[in-house]
Amino acid sequence: MSERTRELSPRYEPGAVEPHWAKAWVDRGYFHATSPSEREPYCIVIPPPNVTGRLHVGHALGRTLEDTLIRRARMQGKETLWLPGMDHAGIATQVVVERELRKEGIDRRELGREAFIERVWAWKEQYGGEIVDQIKRMGASCDWERQRFTMDEGLSLAVRTAFVRWYEQGFIYRGERLVNWCPTDQTGLSDSEVEHEEVDGELVTFRYPLSDGSGFVEVATTRVETMLGDTGIAVHPNDERYRALVGKTVRHPFDGRDIPIVADAAVDPAFGTGAVKVTPAHDQTDFDIAQRTRLPLLNIFDAGARINANVAEEFYGLGRYDAREAVREELHKLELLVREERPFRHAVGHCYRCHSEIEPWVSGLQWFVKVEGLKETAKQAALDGRVRFTPERWTRSYVTWLDNLRDWNISRQLWWGHRIPAWYCPDGHVTVAIEDPAACSTCAGAELEQDPDVLDTWFSSQLWPFSTLGWPDDTHDLRTFYPNTVLVTGYEILYLWVARMIMSGLSLVGDVPFRDVVIHGLVRDAHGRKMSKSLGNVIDPIEMIDRYGADALRFSLARAATGGQQDIPLSEDSIEGARNFANKIWNAARLVLGAFEDDRVELPPAERRTLAERWLLSRHQACVAEVDAALDAYLFADAAQVIFRFLWSEFCDWGLEIEKGRLDGGPQERSDAAALLAWVLERTLRLLHPIMPFVTEEIWQRFGQGASISVAAWPEHHAEHVDVDAEGVIEAVQEVVTAVRRFRARHQVAPGRRFPARVELARDLAQSVEPLAGRIERLAGLEGLTFVDAPSGKLAGETTVAVTVGVVYLPPGLFDVEAERARLTKERAALDADLVRVRGKLGNDGFVAKAPPEVVAGEREKASRMAQRLAEIDAQLAELG
């Protein structure tokens, strides 16, 4: 390889390098997986982003962690598949297209179902999938030839097959149940799509007159309007106060219905009056009571949560909040209102999309997945370790969630999505089939109407780990890559998605969908705040890539992704810092490549290695071992930090500095030093490649070791390079140099000013360090370094600096001791007074309670900074003697 192609440009330009490699890798087919394969399979499926989506930092984090795992596995020689794709995202997409239509003055209902769906597909072709290009810009090593969409043909077959199989096995049924109804979006939602939030509401107590006129029963409610739909009063069977009343009736004050008083063990006798009103059509608990006690359902709302015609005329057409006022007013007039408590804080379910209050509502017949029989096996898989959660504590949340899981409503009153594969004949028979049926399966009648609803988006995404591999067909891909190796995801979709994939995978394919689930936290700003438009602290990953490069974004995300922690702090500063890291590596590589003249990257023989070189190899081996251990445990931040420390500090700041002498030496010395540095750097590039793919590839090319680092071998371990003695000696050198540098900085001694020093070390250490005296002198700017092996004490006027391995003595006259002492003493006094003031503030409960938390945190930080500086001053004063 000629010298010319080895040369690196003076500056690293990610904007020029990244697009080139992103395309070249894909064009050369490096990311394409093969099945069947002799190699060990390694598979990750991308959590499919919404087709309407744009890349946000959460996506960027997930893709960075996945790519890190995938690229490493590929370099380890595994048959590696990272399968990309997108989700059709039922409601989200329908809303976007409806908005487009409204701009043209068109309502989707005028357009009709078929035309509307055509519009959605057209929209998808034109605008959808922007996020795929954004993921490509990150350098994601996906097998783009296998890209899937939840509504493509194969996945649609998987959805229908899953539905029919579960229907035949009794896991899918059609029933009239209460659903979580969003009156704004006018669709049912699953329990996981409902967000429970505390609101300031009211608690109203009122009384029902007994039909026989013998008295009253008091009940309390936060939703007094629902009394219009009461069909019973329930009390606990053992409640003495009401025992005589069970079986009697109360009279509804507005429509005169007689409502039975029933006994049910679900009633808590200690709550309120011990008697509860029962509104089976608008409350899940009441619905359950009504099922047991055979109370009828009385639906009082239409789909928009307005009072319907089932109740007294005076309330008809009122919205639910107006109805609340009106009913309360009427009860008051009838002297039935007993008490009003306001505000009354209680939890209310809200729609995860539009934030309207959820209405428990009977919306006609809907389809459900029965979870009894599915959830037990899914729970067992986590308990016996077939699925492992990282961090492990999520296992418990997962199990608890499954324990409380109720049947899953999968009908959605939308047009965009997988239409439910169920058909009804005029006689009410239901035909469920994979292919559109020609006739009713019961009466053979040809007149069939398909269910108008579509399936919950999560119904198709729960099949993602196997539908994308060709299921229900028995494909090579499925046999090779199922179960997937790892799933990487944020904790916010652990239940919505992860748990359901485990249930469906076990039930439909017969095995867990993945072995490991890695759960990461939310990306927040540097102060731990959620990123939001209103706070103005949103970091746009594409903007960051434009500014600093994808490598910088990836490295800063990986470095922040500490294990077990929920939140991941990210700032533009940290991304800029990662860009500087890329530049540092680039500059180091220029230096090494400038001296490296061999064609092969090979270590010089052991007998020609210097002590410093043995140290560098030993530290490098430690780095490889630590990175492997960290990535095996999914500790991404640790892996990033270990490489950062090694490259920045050990390789650049010490290794290169120490080796500079040899690089300027004779031909053999120069060639040996360059070869060793090249060997270490080349391997470290491979180690860093999974996190920073671009800059590592661009530099690695110059070593002439193969076509691409992305398919190079992962660095092997060299246990024989571990050298404890060399590490001890170089650590001593580092300590002495650092101590002198710190002394210079502290006393403002000019960097060019050279002076002698004496170093006192234990005898055998001194013997090993002495040959490096010249290096120490150069690194610390000394002139005349003497070693003393016995405690010699301080000579007149000397300043002593303690290091852990001994003492460094520095000569008098480098600075004005008296002026320095006076300056430090003054600074100390001022600082001390300030610290007392800040601590007083923090000791004041009023301040701590009333000031905004970030102000309090700021003061705490200030106090700790001051205390630190005080300790420093004290150490400096002690040094002055």
Rule CB under 5 A: which residues touch Zn ion?
Answer: 182, 184-185, 351, 353-354, 356, 425, 427, 429, 440, 442-443, 445
Shortest reach from residue 354's CB to Zn ion, in Å: 3
What does the CA dihedral 426, 432, 438, 443 come to, rounded to 10 degrees? Answer: -50
DSSP alpha helix (H) spans, 241-386: 284-293, 320-333, 375-383
CB closer to Zn ion, 90 vs 260: 90
Shortest reach from residue 316's CB to Zn ion, in Å: 24
Q: Extract the tokens encoding 391.
A: 């961090």
Whole-angstrom distance, CA of residue 462 vs CA of residue 155:
11
Shortest reach from residue 437's CB to Zn ion, in Å: 11
CB closer to Zn ion, 115 vs 444: 444
CB closer to Zn ion, 181 vs 466: 181
CB closer to Zn ion, 227 vs 414: 414
Shortest reach from residue 321's CB to Zn ion, in Å: 16
Whole-angstrom distance, CA of residue 11 vs CA of residue 545:
17
Beta strands 41-45 and 79-83: pairing type?
Answer: parallel
The DSSP 8-state label assigned to residue 731 in this structure reads: H
CB closer to Zn ion, 24 vs 443: 443
Nearest one of 547, 573, 562, 578 to 695, comparing CA atoms: 578
Shortest reach from residue 150's CB to Zn ion, in Å: 21
* Angle value at C-alpha 45, between 128 and 84, nearest 5 degrees: 30
CB closer to Zn ion, 139 vs 183: 183
**394 CB neighbour count, 10 Å cutoff:** 18
Shortest reach from residue 253's CB to Zn ion, in Å: 33
Shortest reach from residue 176's CB to Zn ion, in Å: 20
CB closer to Zn ion, 96 vs 663: 96
CB closer to Zn ion, 185 vs 628: 185
Q: Extract the tokens encoding 478.
A: 């499925």
Q: In sequence order, which residues have a C-beta less than 8 Å from that of residue 798 and are 6 or more positions away?
A: 758, 809, 810, 811, 812
Nearest one of 618, 585, 635 to 717, comparing CA atoms: 618
CB closer to Zn ion, 458 vs 481: 458
Shortest reach from residue 443's CB to Zn ion, in Å: 3
CB closer to Zn ion, 211 vs 441: 441
CB closer to Zn ion, 184 vs 285: 184
Cα–Cα distances in Å, from 120 out to 88, 124, 128, 156, 330?
10, 6, 10, 17, 48
Shortest reach from residue 319's CB to Zn ion, in Å: 15
CB closer to Zn ion, 447 vs 861: 447
Whole-angstrom distance, CA of residue 84 vs CA of residue 133:
12
How many Cα atoms within 13 Å fall on the side-chain side of residue 522? 11
H-run or E-run covering 409: strand 408-409
What is the 3 state secondary structure string of 733-768? HHHHHHHHHHHHHHCCCCCCCCEEEEEEECHHHHHH
DSSP alpha helix (H) spans, 782-852: 817-843, 845-850
Shortest reach from residue 71's CB to Zn ion, in Å: 40
Cα Rg of the chain (Å, integer): 36
Are 591 and 656 in contact by the 8 Å Cβ rule? The answer is yes
Cβ-based burial of 327 (10 A; exposed 0-12, middle 13-18, buried ≥19) = buried
Q: Is the peptide bond before 852 cis (omega within 30 degrees of 0)?
A: no
CB closer to Zn ion, 135 vs 358: 358
Shortest reach from residue 438's CB to Zn ion, in Å: 12
Are 780 and 740 in contact by the 8 Å Cβ rule? The answer is yes
Shortest reach from residue 347's CB to Zn ion, in Å: 18
Secondary structure of the chain: what % helix, strand, coil (to 5)? 50, 20, 35
Beta strands 148-149 and 85-86: pairing type?
Answer: parallel
Shortest reach from residue 448's CB to Zn ion, in Å: 8
Shortest reach from residue 704's CB to Zn ion, in Å: 59
Type of residue found at 326: A
Whole-angstrom distance, CA of residue 541 vs CA of residue 343:
43
Cβ-based burial of 358 (10 A; exposed 0-12, middle 13-18, buried ≥19) = buried
Shortest reach from residue 423's CB to Zn ion, in Å: 9
CB closer to Zn ion, 443 vs 788: 443
Nearest one of 786, 783, 655 to 730, comparing CA atoms: 655
Whole-angstrom distance, CA of residue 67 vs CA of residue 570:
19
CB closer to Zn ion, 442 vs 868: 442
